[in-house]
Amino acid sequence: MHDFTRRALLQGGTALATAGALTGPALLEFAKAWAQSAPWKAEPGAKLTVMRWKRFVPSEDD
């Protein structure tokens, strides 16, 4: 089994950080373009319901 050294960990972390920094903006632009050209439309009368968290013990906030 391969023993991981601190140097190998730093090299791998640096490589991952660099790859993320270089591909991150490209993925965001792809997501924006994909969202604008989505092939489906919402059904007529469709609603979006958002549920919000309710504190279990309200007296803790006082």
The predicted model scores a pTM of 0.39
20 falls within a domain: yes
2 falls within a domain: yes
62 falls within a domain: no
User: How high is the pLDDT of residue 62?
Assistant: 58
User: How high is the pLDDT of residue 29?
Assistant: 74
**In total, how many domains does the chain have?**
1
Contacts for 61 with CB less than 8 Å, ≥ 6 apart: 55
User: How high is the pLDDT of residue 42?
Assistant: 81
47 falls within a domain: no
Domain of residue 2 covers: 1-38
Place of tokens 């950080």: 17
Residues 13-51 have pLDDT tens digits of: 999 888 877 777 777 777 776 666 667 788 899 998 988
